[in-house]
């Protein structure tokens, strides 16, 4: 049924929701916890269906204020369900609340999937001008959402929750809130991230209460909820650093403790963030082997010693006289300080800037255009590239057998193999060494782990700006601060920024490198490049794929102006918002100070 007037809707909709809550309360009596959660999920799913249908019925009659209120109600309804939809139906989740950008499937890179869902709908609801054509788009997008909801309803008879999965789903959803929720990722126009985060936390608390968890946990979640819902703050003024340290981290610790106390095992699945980690920001939260192939070499001391030697070995390049360390200099945060390094083919530079290898292991794709998945494949690609190293890995074993102690190093590293000196083991050893270059113990990391004296007020402000007003955190996802998508970190995003060919702000010209487009010819990937980490960025100038900017100040100015499109360049596929950020010079310096707090190049013994 549809409601004919706003006044009638104002009375009836709360009545319907109240009845739903009452029915839910009766339904959960004496059910096992997992069954209670299923009833909770079903109740909120049907509520979402009702609210969406009402929204659609009001599409053409509602004024702008009511339209936005209807949209907000639908989003809030989804936040009650997000923990389960994301976990059990990730494809539906991407169609309901994915980014408003076209996508391609990894197995079908040429197949473009148009965006749909709440973020697309949000653009229409907050669009100007508000006209009939725009209302048609709203009506159509709600149709798309209703289709996804109906599909979820059809799956209800087959959906079975388990305690192990529910604790896992809730934990992942809290990670999602930290990395994407409070950064504004999925509320770019409505700016409702904090109120939506409050609903996520409330939902988590309500679901966990069904398991009779210790009151410590529900109290911590309630404190988190109160912190994000504080009416004295807005999106820009919200102190995310304080929230994570004082409220969020204790809640995660309490969640883990409650699961252990109730003897509920952790999922056995291999994850980027260990399923049994004590929190999102603990020192050993991330597992680099998640990003490695199944035949990756174990990081034993012997393998790493061999890998380091091969990393610095010019013989891999044949007569090229170049090693991996020629461009990835350990003393320069594994970069070279050059705009682009020189080519072996001619008196010219390579196509792209040398990226750092620090934390390169914590991403599922390598190279600026994401053309390979594993470090082992990257080793082969670089060594055999005639412009970069000009070698042949097939010839390297014979050369290495003739030099020094390599036969012994290979035998020690791969003692179980009959032929330890092999092309395959060269790739595996070098990859294992690069995989050992994970550095997640910067001053910022120690701050989030509770040592709040290690950051200055300027650095804390910079972090809050990075994750808030400056919108950096919507592409450089914390805590890795690269483009690997949380909370599963199984996908790497590329962005179109409109990077110019030179640091000329008065007469800019778009760089001609078409990036990821060169791989598959997908139109929206023209000038798209993988989002790199900003960890150790203060140590790795120059910046961007072409090394166009020499300082972080220049980089901040570029983003502050809205990228290439904001500077007046024609970049039809730009994914970076072209609106000016309106960051003051003081704010920009604070962000740079925060980026410097991410430096971590310590040597690790093995």
List the single range of 13-17, 527-531, 585-589 with lowest mean pLDDT.
Answer: 13-17
For 80-99, what is the mean pLDDT? Answer: 97
- Would residue 581 be called left, alpha or beta, if left means φ above 0 and alpha means ψ between -120 and 50 degrees? alpha
pLDDT digits (tens, 9 = 90+) for 206-249: 999 999 999 999 999 999 999 999 999 999 999 999 999 999 99
pLDDT digits (tens, 9 = 90+) for 118-142: 999 999 999 988 999 999 999 999 9
pLDDT at 19 over 80: no
For 567-571, what is the mean pLDDT? Answer: 96
pLDDT band at 506 (very low <50, low <70, confident <90, very high): confident
DSSP state letter for 356 = P
- For residue 286, what are its two tokens? 């991330």
- For residue 93, what are its two tokens? 């989740």
- For residue 559, what are its two tokens? 């983003």
pLDDT digits (tens, 9 = 90+) for 320-360: 789 999 999 999 999 999 999 999 998 889 999 999 999 99
- Residue pair 176/486 in contact by the 8 Å Cβ criterion: yes
**SS3 of 58, please?**
coil
Among 1, 2, 135, which residue's Cα sits nearest to residue 62?
A: 135
Can you state the percent helix, strand and coil of the chain, rounding each to 5?
50, 5, 45
pLDDT at 275 over 90: yes
For 501-507, what is the mean pLDDT? Answer: 91
In CATH, the number for domain 451-596 is 1.10.760.10
Q: Which CATH entry fits the domain spanning 289-435: 3.40.50.2300, 1.10.150.120, 3.40.50.11740, 1.10.760.10?
A: 1.10.760.10
CA distance 308 to 388: 19
Name the phi and psi angles at 113, rounded to 5. Answer: -105, 115
**pLDDT score of 320:** 76
DSSP state letter for 561 = T
pLDDT at 3 over 50: no
For 565-581, what is the mean pLDDT? Answer: 95
- Residue pair 174/255 in contact by the 8 Å Cβ criterion: yes
List the single range of 67-71, 343-347, 431-435 with lowest mean pLDDT.
Answer: 343-347
Among 401, 378, 404, 400, which residue's Cα sits nearest to residue 324?
A: 378
**SS3 of 582, please?**
coil
For the chain, what is the radius of gyration of the CA atoms? 26
Mean per-residue pLDDT of the chain: 93
**SS3 of 152, please?**
helix
pLDDT at 49 over 80: yes
Sorted by where each begins, the domain ranges of the chain are 1-161, 163-268, 289-435, 451-596
- Residue pair 509/498 in contact by the 8 Å Cβ criterion: no
**pLDDT score of 104:** 82
pLDDT at 452 over 60: yes
Tell me how crowded residue 234 is: count the other CB atoms within 10 A of its CB: 11
Beta bridge mates, 528: 496, 515
CA distance 200 to 173: 8
CA distance 239 to 220: 17
**pLDDT score of 105:** 72
Q: Which CATH entry fits the domain spanning 1-161: 1.20.1420.20, 3.90.230.10, 3.30.1240.10, 3.30.1540.20?
A: 1.20.1420.20
For 264-271, what is the mean pLDDT? Answer: 95
CA distance 292 to 288: 7
**pLDDT score of 103:** 85
pLDDT band at 603 (very low <50, low <70, confident <90, very high): confident
- For residue 377, what are its two tokens? 């494949």
**SS3 of 484, please?**
strand
pLDDT band at 505 (very low <50, low <70, confident <90, very high): confident
- Would residue 527 be called left, alpha or beta, if left means φ above 0 and alpha means ψ between -120 and 50 degrees? left
Residue with tokens 């794709």: 365
Consecutive H or E run containing 112 = strand 108-113
pLDDT digits (tens, 9 = 90+) for 280-317: 999 999 999 999 999 999 999 999 999 999 999 999 99
Domain 1-161 and domain 451-596, same fold? Reply is no
pLDDT digits (tens, 9 = 90+) for 158-185: 999 999 999 999 999 999 999 999 999 9
Tell me how crowded residue 419 is: count the other CB atoms within 10 A of its CB: 10
**pLDDT score of 606:** 60
Tell me how crowded residue 24 is: count the other CB atoms within 10 A of its CB: 16
């Amino acid at each position: 049924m549809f409601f004919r007037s706003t006044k009638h809707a104002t009375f009836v909709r709360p009545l319907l929701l109240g009845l739903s809550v009452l029915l839910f309360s009766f339904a959960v009596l004496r059910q096992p916890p997992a069954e209670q959660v299923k009833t909770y999920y079903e109740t909120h799913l049907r509520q979402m269906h009702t609210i969406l249908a009402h929204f659609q019925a009001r599409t053409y009659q509602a004024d702008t204020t009511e339209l936005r209120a209807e949209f907000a109600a639908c989003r809030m309804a989804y936040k009650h369900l997000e923990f389960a939809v994301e976990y059990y139906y990730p494809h539906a989740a991407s169609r309901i609340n994915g980014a408003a950008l076209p996508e391609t499937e990894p197995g079908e890179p040429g197949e473009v999937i148009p965006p749909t869902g709440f973020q697309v709908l949000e653009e229409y609801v907050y669009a100007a001008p508000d006209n009939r054509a725009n209302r048609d788009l709203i009506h159509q997008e709600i149709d798309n959402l209703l289709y996804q909801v109906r599909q979820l309803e059809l799956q209800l008879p087959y959906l079975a929750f388990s305690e192990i999965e529910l604790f896992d789903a809730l934990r992942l959803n809290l990670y999602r809130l930290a990395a994407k929720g409070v950064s504004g990722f999925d509320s770019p126009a409505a700016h409702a991230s904090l109120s939506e985060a409050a609903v996520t936390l409330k939902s988590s608390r309500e679901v966990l209460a069904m398991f009779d968890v210790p009151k410590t946990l529900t109290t911590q979640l309630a404190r988190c909820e109160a912190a994000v819902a504080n009416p004295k703050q807005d999106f820009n003024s919200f102190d995310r650093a304080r929230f994570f340290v004082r409220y969020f981290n204790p809640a995660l610790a309490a969640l883990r403790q409650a699961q252990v106390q109730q003897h509920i095992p952790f999922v056995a699945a291999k994850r980027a963030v260990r399923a049994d980690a004590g929190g999102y920001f603990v020192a050993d939260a991330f597992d680099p082997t998640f990003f490695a192939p199944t035949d990756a070499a174990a990081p034993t001391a012997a393998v790493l010693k061999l890998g380091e030697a091969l990393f610095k070995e010019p013989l891999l390049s044949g007569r090229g006289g170049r090693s991996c360390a020629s461009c990835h200099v350990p003393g320069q945060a594994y970069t070279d300080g050059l705009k682009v390094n020189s080519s072996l083919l001619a008196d010219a530079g390579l196509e792209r800037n040398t990226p750092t290898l620090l934390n390169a292991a914590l991403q599922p794709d390598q190279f600026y255009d994401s053309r390979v998945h594993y470090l082992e494949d990257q080793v082969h690609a670089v060594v055999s590239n005639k412009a970069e190293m000009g070698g042949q890995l097939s010839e390297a074993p014979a050369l290495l057998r003739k030099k020094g102690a390599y036969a012994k190093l290979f035998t020690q590293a791969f003692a179980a193999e009959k032929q330890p000196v092999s092309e395959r083991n060269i790739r595996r050893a070098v990859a294992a060494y690069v995989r050992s270059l994970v550095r997640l113990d910067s001053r910022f990391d120690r701050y989030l782990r509770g040592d709040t004296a290690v950051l200055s007020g300027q650095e804390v402000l910079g972090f809050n700006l990075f994750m808030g007003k400056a919108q950096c955190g919507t592409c450089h996802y914390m805590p890795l601060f690269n483009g690997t998508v949380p909370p599963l970190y199984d996908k790497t995003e590329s962005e179109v920024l409109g990077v110019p060919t030179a640091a000329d702000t008065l007469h800019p010209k778009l760089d001609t490198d078409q990036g990821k487009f060169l791989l598959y010819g997908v139109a929206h990937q023209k000038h798209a490049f993988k989002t790199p980490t900003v960890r150790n960025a203060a140590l790795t100038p120059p910046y961007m794929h072409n090394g166009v900017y020499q300082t972080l100040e220049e980089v901040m100015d570029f983003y502050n102006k809205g990228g290439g499109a904001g500077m007046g360049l024609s970049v039809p596929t730009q994914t970076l918002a072209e609106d000016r950020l309106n960051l003051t010079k003081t704010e920009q310096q604070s962000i740079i100070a925060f980026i410097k707090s991410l430096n971590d190049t310590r040597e690790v013994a093995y």
